[in-house]
Homo-oligomer: A and B are copies of this chain.
Amino acid sequence: MSAADLSHSHHLALSARALRTGEQPVSYIMSAAVRDPHIINLAAGLVDSQTLPVEEAAIATQRVLADPKRARAALQYDTTIGLSELRQAVLDHLAEQDGLSPAQMALLASQVIITGGSQQLLGLIGDTLIDPGDIVITSRPCYFVYTATLTALGARMVTAPMDDLGLDVGAVRQLLENLQRRGELDRVKMVYVGSYYQNPTGLTLAVERRQELLEVVRHFSRRQRILILEDAAYRELRYDGPDLPSIKSFDRENQHVILTNTFSKPFSPGLRTGYTVMPADLHAAVLTQKENQDFGSPSFAQHVLLEALRDGLYARHVHKLRQSYRAKRDVLLHALAKYMPADAGIHWTHPHGGLFSWLTLPAAIDTGRSGKLFAACLRRGMMYLPGEYCFQGDANGNIPRNQMRLAFGRAALEQLEPAIAALAQSVREIQCQMPNGKCQKAGNPLEERPVVT
């Protein structure tokens, strides 16, 4: 037997991190959707391909490349922290949204870091703060991609529920009290919260809870500082209601809040550029971590975005996007009201922005990937994201399996009503199969009901 033959049987020893890293559930969902392009995909949280800024990107790119000096800068390395002018533009943009000046926010452009989307920042924060066994407080449900990252790092997640006002901050306080009693407060690194039109629920953290959350982490920062990781990725996709001040805007001493945002949702994921501000000591450590990973995000995309921001191309595009997604949200909510069975156990969120609504079914209906409803929906040509992916198991490993995320960004406007009709028919089909289940005749649109927010 030759050495080459032997090699085939050799074990490949992966790292503890790799062994903890699970495949993202969305991979299956995406590949299933690709296998059958006729399926209306309300599972994937992608932005709409039809409203990507083709014209704006062409103008901005052409301008950057027409000026030899800028073109060379765009094609060269920049710095780890990111293009200086873009950091200033981002800071102005951030402060403007909060109705403050950068000075009032106690922030300088040197405190902004440009990242590879907000996803890179989420990873960097994990690498910089989390050792196996450290505790992160998350909402339930939570953005499942980040919980997978935290799992890969060996973090323990303890979860607080959400209601119509977003994360239940009283529950966070209770969790911290319990952890303190158990002597585990020093292991708590941060609270992760989607503050605007959260993925997966579409819910926004109420303004009074923003201040309260900051007070809670201040109160429990004893020997160790507890941070808030504020994920504001969907902030600019606002369709109605006020633009609330960021949690960061209350952290005037820049001690507790890491704010991360991205141009992927309001402009283009293909340029994959995000930005972040955070307390100074953490900023230095994150920058060192990033320096070891990539010496800075690609400069080409940064120059294109800077041009778009400066010239109003960006603002114009966001305005268009809001109109387009608002119409989709309205159709989705209208279709839910029109087709879903009138059942006390059935309700959904009414997002004021973002790309998601969160639907709850009676507890007996299994929305899981291996459940009957998922299969019934696929047969009828629609796909949703099973809510089970968005939960950590409780003490007994139990996960709610009667919810789902409905993403309305990617599907065409005219696909949304048929998709929801298919979903509603499938729900009725499952209800009819249940012992003692209510069985409403499928296909009859019910009278419209008020939307549950």
Instruction: Check B127 against A221 for contact (C-beta < 8 Å).
Output: no
Q: Does A27 contact B (CB under 8 A)?
A: yes
In angstroms, Cα B343 to Cα A63, docked, is: 53
With a 10 A CB-CB cut-off, give which of A46, A78, A145, A288 has the most chain B CB atoms.
A288
Number of copies: 2
Q: Which residues of B have CB within 8 Å of A225?
A: 7, 10-13
Stretch at the interface among A115-123, A350-358, A396-404, A430-438: A115-123
Q: Does A270 contact B (CB under 8 A)?
A: yes
In angstroms, Cα B145 to Cα A23, docked, is: 29
Q: Which residues of B have CB within 8 Å of A219?
A: 3
Taking the nearest CB of chain B, how far is it from the CB of A340, in angstroms? 30
A89-125 residues at the B interface, CB under 8 angstroms: 116-117, 119-120, 123
Q: Does A332 contact B (CB under 8 A)?
A: no
* Partner of A189 from B13, B47, B119 at Cβ < 8 Å: B13
With a 10 A CB-CB cut-off, give which of A11, A62, A186, A279 has the most chain B CB atoms.
A11
Additional A-B contact list (11), CB under 8 Å, known A11-B225, A27-B80, A301-B301:
A10-B223, A15-B127, A18-B127, A52-B75, A58-B62, A116-B116, A120-B294, A123-B292, A272-B298, A272-B300, A298-B298
List 21 contacting pairs A-B, 8 Å CB cutoff, sorted by A.
A3-B215, A3-B219, A7-B225, A10-B225, A10-B255, A14-B129, A14-B285, A15-B129, A15-B130, A15-B131, A18-B285, A24-B292, A24-B295, A47-B76, A49-B72, A52-B76, A53-B75, A54-B65, A76-B268, A78-B270, A272-B298
